[in-house]
Structure 1
Amino acid sequence: MTAAEGERSTAFLQFLLLVVGALSLLIVAPFLQALLSAGLVAYLVAPVNDRLGRRLGSTSGTVVTILLTVVVVVVPLVVLVSLAAEQALSVARTAQLPDAATVGARLQRWLGPAVDRSMLTGPLSSALRTGLRGLFGSFAGVVGGISAVAVGAVVFVFTLFYLLRDGDRFVNWLRRAAPLDAATADRLVRRTDELLWAAVVGNVAVAGVQAVLTVAGFVAVGFDNIAFWAVATFALSLLPIIGASIVWLPAVAYLLVVGDLPAAVGLFVYGTVIISGSDNVVRPLAMQRGADLNSGVLVVGIFGGLAVFGFVGLFVGPVVLGLGKALVAELVTQRERRGQ
C-alpha cells in the first residue's frame, strides 16, 4: 500500500467513525441517564467488587456486588423515597397555617404599631399557603417521576455489570486507543478519579450529614413526616448555595407564625451552628482525596449538569467541566515544553 492509499484509507476510516459515532450517540441518548448512573455506581462500588472478584472470580464477584448494592442501597432508597412521596402529599394536604387575622396580629406585635395590619392579613396568609403547597406539590411530582427510571433498569443493570467486570480492560483499551503518551494518560485518569471523588463522595457525604442533622432538629421540635424532610434536605443539600438552609429556615418561619417562639429560636440557632456549620467540618474530611473544585466551576457544573443530564448531572456536570480544565492545562503544558 502506497502512502497516498494509506492516507485515503485513514481519512475514510475517520469519516466512517464520525458517522458511526453520531448514530451511536442517537442510539444511546434515550438511555443516557441509565448509562451515566451505572457509571457512577460502578465507580462507587468498584473497591468492593475488586475484593469480591479476587475471592470469587470476576463474574461471580460482580454478580454478588450488584446483588449487595441492590439489597443494601437500592431497595432501602426506593422505600425511603416512596415513603417520602406519600408524606409529601400528606404534608401538602394537612399543612395548616393560622388564619389571616392571627398572622397579622402576631406580625404587627413583632414589627411594631407603625405597620398597617391590613397589609399583613389576606395577602400574606394566601401567599404563605400557596407557596407551601406549591413547594410540597412540586417535590411530590418530582419524586413521583422517579418511577420512570424503571424504563432504563435493564440498561442500567447490564451496563453496571460489564463496567464492574470489564472496567479495567475498558480503561486500558482507551489508553491504547487514545493518541496520548503514557504519562499524560495517567495524569488524566488520575484527575478524573479525583473529580469523581469530589463530585460524588464529597457532596453526598455533606448532604447525608446535613439531612441527618436536620431530621434530628425537626424531631426535637415535634415535626412529623420525617422521611419527607430527610429526602428533601438531602436533595437540596446537593445543590450549591441553596443547601439545607432552604429547609430549616422556612421551618423556623413556620414556628414563628404559629407562635412557638422558643422552638423557632432553638431551631434557628441549631440550624445556623450545627446544620450549616457541619459543611465546614465534613467537606474538608470527605475531600481529602478529591480535587479542589473551583466554586464557580462547581456551581455552573451542578446547575448546568442538572439542565442537560437531569438528576445525575449533579455529579456529571462538575466532572465534565473539571476535566475540560485539566485538558486545557495539559495543552498549555505541552505547548510550553515545545517552546523550550
Structure 2
Amino acid sequence: MSSADGGATFLRALLLVVGALAVLLVVPFLQALLAAGLVAYLVAPVKERLAARLGPTVGTTATILVTVVIAVVPFAVVVGVAAEQALAVARTASLPDAAAVQADLRPWLGLVPMPDALTGPVTDALRTGVLGLLGGALGVLGGIPGFLVGTVVFLFALFYLLRDGERFVAWLRGATPLDPATMDRLVARTDALLWAAVVGNVAVAGVQAVLTVVGFLFIGVENVVFWGVATFLLSLLPIIGASIVWVPAVGYLLLVGRVPAAIALLVYGAVVVSGSDNLVRPLVMQRGTDLNAAVLVLGIFGGVSLFGFVGLFVGPVVLGLAKTLVDVLAGVSDGPTDSR
C-alpha cells in the first residue's frame, strides 16, 4: 500500500471517529437545530432584503428581531391562551353533578369496611401518587435550564444559517462528490418539499383554523382560541382536516336544541371551511409539490415521535427526500408532483 493510500485510509478512519463524536454532540440539540433551519428557510427572503441595505450581520440581526416580535411572541401568547382554555374545556366536559353524586355516596362508602390488609397498600399507593405528581412538577422545573440552553443554540444556529447559509450550501456543493446536475436536482427538490411541508400545509391549516374560529364566534362558542389551535394542528393531516372539529360541534348544537345554529355551522363548515382547501392549496403549491397523503401522514406522525413538534414539518421532507434519492439512484426523473 502506498503512503498516499495509507494516508487516505487514515483520514477516512479519523473522519469516522470524529464524525461519530460530532453526531453525539449535535443529537441533544437536534430539535433546536432543525427548528432554526426551518425558520431560516422561511425568513431568508426578508434577510436578503435587509442585508442588501444594512449589511449581512446587521441585516441578519434585524431579521431575527423582527421574527421574534412578529412571530414568536404572538405564537407564545396564543399557545398560552390555548392552554388555559384547554383546561376550561376539560372542566366543562366533566359531569356537572359529579360533586353531588360523590356527596350522596359518601355515607354509603363509610358503611363498607376497609380490611386492615388493604390499608397499607392503599396508603402506599396514595403516597406514590403524590410523590409522582411532585416529581413531575420538579421535572418540569428541571427542564427549564435545558430549554434555555436549547433557545441559545436555536438563536445562534438561526443567526449563522441566515448570515452564512449561501456559503454553507456552496461548501456542500464542493464537498459532495456529485455532478452539478444531480446536486441541483436535490437542492430544487428539497426546496419544493420544504415549501410544501412548511409553507403550503401551514397556510392551508392556518386559513381553516381562522375560518373555524370565525364560525364559532358567530354561533357563540366559547374558548375559540383553543378550538382554533386544535383545528390548525388537525388540519395539517390530509383528509381529516378541520372537519374533525366543526362536525362534532354541529352534533353538539343539535343535542342542546340549537337546530338553526347547527344547520348554519354545517353549511358554513362544508362550504367555507373545508372548501377553502380547494382554493388555498393550489395557490400555495405553485412553487412546491403536492405531497402524497400517505407520505404526509407517515411523515407527520413519525416526525413528531422522532423530532418532537418540529417533526410536523421535518418528517414529510425526510420521506420525500428519501424517495428523491431512490429516484436519482434508479435514474428516474421527477414528475411534476407526487400525485395522490
Q: TM-score range by the shorter chain?
A: 0.7 to 0.9
Tell me the C-alpha RMSD between the 2 structures: 2.4
Distance change >3 Å, CA 98–CA 250, structure 1 → 2: farther
CA distance in 1, matches of 2:12, 2:90: 57
CA distance in 2, matches of 1:96, 1:34: 37
Deviation at 1:282, TM superposition (A): 0.7
CA distance in 2, matches of 1:150, 1:82: 18
- Partner of residue 273, structure 1: 271
- Partner of residue 63, structure 1: 61
Which of 175, 183, 193 is the matching residue for 1:185? 183
Deviation at 1:98, TM superposition (A): 8.5
CA distance in 2, matches of 1:4, 1:252: 78
For 1:245-284, list aligned pairs within 5 A. Answer: 245-284=243-282
- Partner of residue 91, structure 1: 89
Q: Say whether 1:319 aligns with 2:317.
A: yes
CA distance in 1, matches of 2:225, 2:178: 49
CA distance in 1, matches of 2:156, 2:304: 24
CA distance in 2, matches of 1:22, 1:257: 60
- Partner of residue 82, structure 1: 80
Whether the 8 Å CA contact 2:299–2:316 is kept in 1: the answer is: yes
Distance change >3 Å, CA 269–CA 165, structure 1 → 2: same
- Which range is displaced more, 291-300 or 185-194? 291-300
Deviation at 1:4, TM superposition (A): 2.1
Q: Secondary structure at the match of 2:274?
A: helix
Q: What is the TM-score when the length of structure 1 is the normalising length?
A: 0.80
Amino acid in the other structure paired with 2:161: L
Q: Say whether 1:171 aligns with 2:169.
A: yes
Deviation at 1:171, TM superposition (A): 0.4
CA distance in 2, matches of 1:13, 1:48: 41
Q: Deviations over 1:13-32 (max 9, x none)?
A: 11221222222111111111
Identical positions, percent = 69
Amino acid in the other structure paired with 1:152: G
Amino acid in the other structure paired with 1:229: W
Whether the 8 Å CA contact 1:214–1:230 is kept in 2: the answer is: yes
Q: Deviations over 1:173-215 (max 9, x none)?
A: 0000000111111111111111100110001100110001100
Amino acid in the other structure paired with 1:301: G
Q: Deviations over 1:94-119 (max 9, x none)?
A: 347788xxxxxxxxxxxxxxxxxxxx
For 1:187-202, list aligned pairs within 5 A. Answer: 187-202=185-200
Q: Deviations over 1:209-267 (max 9, x none)?
A: 00011001101110122211111111121123331112112211221222212211221
CA distance in 2, matches of 1:210, 1:149: 31
Whether the 8 Å CA contact 2:250–2:265 is kept in 1: the answer is: yes
The count of aligned residue pairs is 291
- Partner of residue 241, structure 2: 243
Which of 321, 328, 336 is the matching residue for 1:330? 328
Deviation at 1:11, TM superposition (A): 1.7
Deviation at 1:297, TM superposition (A): 1.7
- Which range is displaced more, 164-173 or 319-328? 319-328
Structure 1 alignment gaps of length 5 or more = 100-143, 336-340
Distance change >3 Å, CA 334–CA 180, structure 1 → 2: farther
- Which range is displaced more, 262-271 or 154-163? 262-271
Which of 281, 288, 303 is the matching residue for 2:301? 303
CA distance in 2, matches of 1:171, 1:297: 26
CA distance in 1, matches of 2:292, 2:46: 30
Q: Secondary structure at the match of 1:50?
A: helix
- Partner of residue 117, structure 2: none
Structure 2 alignment gaps of length 5 or more = 98-139, 334-340
- Which range is displaced more, 191-200 or 6-15? 6-15
CA distance in 2, matches of 1:252, 1:31: 43
Which of 6, 9, 12 is the matching residue for 1:8? 6
CA distance in 2, matches of 1:93, 1:34: 34
Which of 43, 49, 60 is the matching residue for 1:51? 49
Whether the 8 Å CA contact 1:219–1:226 is kept in 2: the answer is: yes
Distance change >3 Å, CA 312–CA 233, structure 1 → 2: same
For 1:76-155, list aligned pairs within 5 A. Answer: 76-95=74-93, 149-155=147-153
Q: Secondary structure at the match of 1:46?
A: helix
Whether the 8 Å CA contact 2:36–2:157 is kept in 1: the answer is: yes
Amino acid in the other structure paired with 1:277: G
Whether the 8 Å CA contact 2:243–2:269 is kept in 1: the answer is: yes
Whether the 8 Å CA contact 1:98–1:258 is kept in 2: the answer is: no
Distance change >3 Å, CA 290–CA 149, structure 1 → 2: farther
CA distance in 1, matches of 2:21, 2:274: 47
Whether the 8 Å CA contact 2:237–2:296 is kept in 1: the answer is: no
